[in-house]
Amino acid sequence: MSDHKTNRRDFIRLAATGAAALGLGMKGYAEKLPSGIWMPSRPEDQKNVVGLRCDPLQKVRIGVIGLGMRGMDAVSRLLYVDGVEITAVCDKIPERVAKAQQIVVERGGQEPSGFSAGEDDWMKLCERDNVDMVYACTPWYLHTPNAVYAMTNGKHAAIEVPAAMTLDECWQLVNTAEKTRRHCMMLENCCYDFFELATLNMARNGVFGEIMHTECAYIHDLRWLKFDKETGYVDMWRLRYSEKHTGNLYPTHGLGPVAQILGINRGDRMEYLTSMSTNQVGMTAYAREKFGPDSPEARQNYELGDMNTTVVRTSKGRTIMIQHDTTSPRPYNRIHLISGTKGFAQKWPVTQIALEPNAHEALKEEELNQLLQKYEHPLAKKVGEQAKEVGGHGGMDFIMDWRLIDCLRRGEPLDQDVYDAAAWSSIIELSEKSVRNQSAPVEIPDFTRGAWETTPPLGIVQ
């Protein structure tokens, strides 16, 4: 145990200094992009994990870190998936650990080990022999440390979105996965929404022709949550990011599904972006109204612009528009727009599909339903009804969990790998870099180091 204590101390100390100090292959750089972004070469003791297959697990023993809103739901939801055993749970609030243990026992499982002795107790969970996968639902700044330490200790890592907040963290994830040969999946549940799955199936069957443009977003009024002191977020970490950063802080909910449709990292890649933000007005106005014009909240400076629009161009000359707005009083919207040479689809604010030869007019309701039924994704067919009963954002959380566990039990590659986690999450720092430089173009690193050119697009599960 003394070795473990030393390892934990070293990890905490080195993690603060970045990937180079962690010894994860960031020392030797192959090139420096014109924007000043370093592209590291792959260390000799690593190879890519494209299509990674690991030994099948008859039962997947899971340790859950972070038992807030997302984590507690995950504990309840995972217990409905065949082949799952929750063996450990962790949160810095002991009452949450006790509640999670109770949920497992009430569902007929053995009480999982609990960890709540301090800020770093999650490391002990990662070190346990009876954990195959660490499922992390912690604040953003802990996602990469959780995943890196889990993989370093021989565990697969499943981490909530975004997987990383900086380019350094993106490379930490990639290099650790390549070195340890462990899966690292960002839990991007929107890839498993019913409409997104159906449009992926349509795209693979050529319904939209050659897709040239997509649009996506995370537009979600979260002012109440950022200022809410009653949800257990003692350090108010969401609010702190709004105070210190601009750009797109949360790109992956919209980006993940369209990136899979476009074959990003699988035949195409995101090459560069340009990003622009409005002024920040909404947070201050909300704080004045809620707390008073002379309150600390109203006097605080917030860097995050109300609306950010980022446009990405891919190597194949296609474009992706990504928007982020967690401040404006407007309905939730992920957009999810697909535009090709034969047709168009959009989910928000209303579901529309238009196809040649009458693409100037959206399909009528009956035609739309028939098309969606024809191209219903096999995953939705198999577990969709159960997913709706179990819940989790209309069922997409359960489909995601079911698919993840199914792949681990069969020793199959995951739908979302560490390169997706890194590429999708890299938009955070890169968009801010562009915004702070008058929307100048910024190159997006190739986290696959060339493997994208020969990797086939994500297929349709049969």
Taking only the tens place, the pLDDT of each residue in 350-387 is 999 999 999 999 999 999 999 999 999 999 999 999 99
Strand partners, 216: 322
Asked if 254 contacts 218 with a C-beta cutoff of 8 angstroms, the reply is yes
Nearest CA-CA partner of 78 in 379, 391, 402:
402
Q: Give the model confidence (pLDDT) of 311-354 as tens digits.
A: 999 999 999 999 999 999 999 999 999 999 999 999 999 999 99
Reported confidence tier of residue 29, pLDDT bands at 50, 70, 90: very low
| Structure tokens that stand for 310 in this block | 């980022």
364-to-202, 335, 358, 370, 371 alpha-carbon distances in Å:
18, 20, 12, 10, 11
Return phi, psi of residue 160, to 5°.
Answer: -65, 165
328 domain residue, yes or no: yes
198 domain residue, yes or no: yes
Torsion angle defined by CA atoms of residues 256, 258, 262 and 266, in that order, rounded to the nearest 10 degrees: 10
Asked if 380 contacts 196 with a C-beta cutoff of 8 angstroms, the reply is no
Domain count, the chain: 1
Residue 401 has pLDDT above 90, yes or no: yes
Q: Give the model confidence (pLDDT) of 402-428 as tens digits.
A: 999 999 999 999 999 999 999 999 999
What is the model's pLDDT at position 7?
Answer: 74
144 domain residue, yes or no: no
Identify the residue with better confidence: 16 or 5.
5
Asked if 324 contacts 308 with a C-beta cutoff of 8 angstroms, the reply is yes
Arithmetic mean of pLDDT, 10-31: 50
Percent of the chain with pLDDT over 90: 87
DSSP reduced 3-state for 60: strand
Number of neighbouring beta carbons within 10 Å of residue 234:
9
158 domain residue, yes or no: no
Residue 188 has pLDDT above 70, yes or no: yes
Q: How far apart are CA 267 and CA 451, in angstroms?
A: 9
277 domain residue, yes or no: yes
Q: Which CATH number fits the domain that encloses residue 431?
A: 3.30.360.10
Residue 24 has pLDDT above 50, yes or no: no
Percent of the chain with pLDDT over 70: 93
Reported confidence tier of residue 232, pLDDT bands at 50, 70, 90: very low
What is the model's pLDDT at position 70?
Answer: 94
Asked if 377 contacts 197 with a C-beta cutoff of 8 angstroms, the reply is yes
What is the model's pLDDT at position 14?
Answer: 58
User: Comparing 32-41, 58-67, 150-159, 311-320, which segment has the lowest mean pLDDT?
Assistant: 32-41
Prediction pTM value: 0.94
97 domain residue, yes or no: no
Q: How far apart are CA 409 and CA 15, in angstroms?
A: 32
203 domain residue, yes or no: yes
What is the model's pLDDT at position 31?
Answer: 63
DSSP reduced 3-state for 459: coil
Domain extent, residue 208, equals 191-377+417-453
What is the model's pLDDT at position 16?
Answer: 57
Reported confidence tier of residue 120, pLDDT bands at 50, 70, 90: very high
Arithmetic mean of pLDDT, 162-186: 98
Asked if 297 contacts 290 with a C-beta cutoff of 8 angstroms, the reply is yes
270 domain residue, yes or no: yes
Nearest CA-CA partner of 416 in 159, 211, 81:
159
Q: How far apart are CA 239 and CA 243, in angstroms?
A: 6
Identify the residue with better confidence: 4 or 135.
135
For residue 373, what are the contacts with CB-CB under 8 A and spacing of at least 6? Answer: none
Long-range contacts, 351-355 (Cβ 8 Å, 24+): 351/195, 355/207
What is the model's pLDDT at position 11?
Answer: 78
Residue 234 has pLDDT above 70, yes or no: no
DSSP reduced 3-state for 430: helix
| Structure tokens that stand for 72 in this block | 């507690």
Torsion angle defined by CA atoms of residues 196, 202, 207 and 213, in that order, rounded to the nearest 10 degrees: 40
Q: How far apart are CA 413 and CA 433, in angstroms?
A: 33
What is the model's pLDDT at position 13?
Answer: 62
Residue 138 has pLDDT above 90, yes or no: yes
Q: How far apart are CA 362 and CA 121, in angstroms?
A: 54
